[in-house]
Structures are given as structure tokens and as C-alpha cells.
Structure 1
Amino acid sequence: MATAGKVELAKAISQKIGVTQKQATEFINSFVETVEEKLGGGDKVQLVGFGTFMTRKRESREGRRPGTGEKILIPASIVPVFKAGKGLKDKLNNR
């Protein structure tokens, strides 16, 4: 399975909608920046049929330092989460 990065996505978008690859890259950058801003502000970003971007709070927990086995406290953090929508799941499963 190949991995499509920003360049490959921009090329595919530019061919699909007839814009330059530079314009497609600007769109991708703007989309990512906007999602980051919304999530940073505590909002969810929902694209019906595709999925929902959201954040979750991960509580602090005890862990171990790999090299020494010493116990350490891993602090609480906010993590991004993506939940795939029904339309995306169906498309991947050819339904």
C-alpha cells in the first residue's frame, strides 16, 4: 500500500478540479490550518459522510522510562482524533 503525501494529494486534486498544483497545495494548507484552529478552539469539524475531527483529553498516567525502567509520570494531554463516517467506511468496503 502506497502512502499519498501532500504533493500527491495536490496533484490529484489539481487534475480532478482543473486548478494548478500550487492552488491545490494552498487549498490543502488552508484546510489543515483551519482544522487545527477549530480543534484548538475546542470545536469539532464534521464532514458528513467522510468523518469527524475532534480532540480528547488523555489523562495523566504512570509509565516507565525504556532505558532504565524507572517509573515516570506521563502528563495529561489533548490528542487529536478522527472518526470515519459511514460514507467513507462504505466506500472502503465497496458498499
Structure 2
Amino acid sequence: MNKLELIAALKNEANISKSEAAEVVRIFFDSMSDALAQGERVEIRGLCSFFVKEYKSYVGRNPKTGDKVVIEPKKLPFFKCGKELKERVNAEES
């Protein structure tokens, strides 16, 4: 499912216009992105959680040349699946 499919599903389920559904989806994702950018954890009970992991600087290697390269510290967003979602996905396979 992509963003447009999500908007269409929301439009049909909530019986609202496409522009209203698009605005709801935009607000939802913008709010999540803003929270993560501020270092907050986003948790949607029963579905998943998103959090930011911080990595320290380290020395890596360029895979083509083998030269040592200093990797700058960075932050990356992570997704962790919730228990109920895991169970639902596994039930769908059976």
C-alpha cells in the first residue's frame, strides 16, 4: 500500500472527501516526522513504534578501494513491529 492507496482507503472508510483524507494523512505523517526529528519516540499501540538510534563516529572502509574512511556520527529512524501486528501477519500466512 502506498500513500495514495492509504488516502483512498481513508476516504472510503471515513466517508470524507479525497482532499480531507489527504490532509489527515499529511498531518499524521508530518506529526510523526516532527516528533522523530525532535528525538521523541512514536508509539502506535498494537501496531508499531518508531524511534531514533544514534551512531557514534567510526572508521570504515571504502568497499571499492579498501581505503579507510571516517564515518561521521549519525541518527537513523527505526521501526519496531508490535506484538499484535506480528500475530496478525503470521495468522494471514496460515
The two structures share one fold, judged by TM-score above 0.5: yes
CA RMSD of aligned residues (A): 1.6
More helix as a share of residues = 2
CA distance in 2, matches of 1:12, 1:41: 30
Q: Which of 55, 61, 77 in structure 2 is aligned with 1:64?
A: 61
Q: What amino acid is the match of 1:9?
A: L
Query: What is the TM-score of this pair, normalised by structure 2?
Result: 0.85
**Match of residue 50 from structure 2:** 53
Q: Does 1:29 align with 2:23?
A: no
Residues 45-93 of structure 1: CA deviation (Å, up to 9, x unaligned):
1111011111110222222334433221111111101111111111111
Unmatched segments (≥5 aa) in structure 1: none
Query: What is the TM-score of this pair, normalised by structure 1?
Result: 0.84
Unmatched segments (≥5 aa) in structure 2: none
CA distance in 1, matches of 2:64, 2:27: 41
Q: What amino acid is the match of 2:21?
A: A
CA distance in 1, matches of 2:86, 2:36: 23
Q: Does 1:13 align with 2:10?
A: yes
**SS of structure 1 residue aligned to 2:91:** coil
Identity in percent: 30
1:75-86 counterparts in 2 under 5 A? 75-86=72-83
Q: How many residues align?
A: 92
CA distance in 1, matches of 2:52, 2:83: 20
